Amino acid sequence: MRTVGILIASVMLAGAASADSNGVDEETIAAIEAKLASMECQMDPDDIEVEDDGYELDDVICKGGNQFDIELDADLNEIGRKAE
């Protein structure tokens, strides 16, 4: 019975982690966060969305308090930015 409980808890945690990252692997999240840090910006990783040709970053807050939606290509190069 204990093994079943552990298995259920593991599945629930895995499902929550998958839903939180929106299908983005931890390595990519870390790379995006590092890129944002170099731009003096930050965001909640849950707001990273996978697009056909890259990623959309919602609600990015940059130095000075400005908020943007930023688009990155598959190589994490910025290809678009829209002020919110």
Regarding predicted confidence, which is higher, 16 or 69? 69
What DSSP character marks residue 39? T
Regarding predicted confidence, which is higher, 14 or 65? 65
- Residue 9: predicted pLDDT: 42
Can you spell out the DSSP letters for 11-78?
HHHHHHHHHHTTT--HHHHHHHHHHHHHTTEE--GGGEEEETTEEEEEEEEETTS-EEEEEEETT--E
The per-residue pLDDT for range 26-70, each reduced to its tens digit, is 999 999 999 999 999 999 999 999 998 999 999 999 999 999 999
Q: Please report, for the chain, the start and end positions of each structural domain, with discontinuous segments joined by +.
A: 2-83
pTM tops 0.85 = no
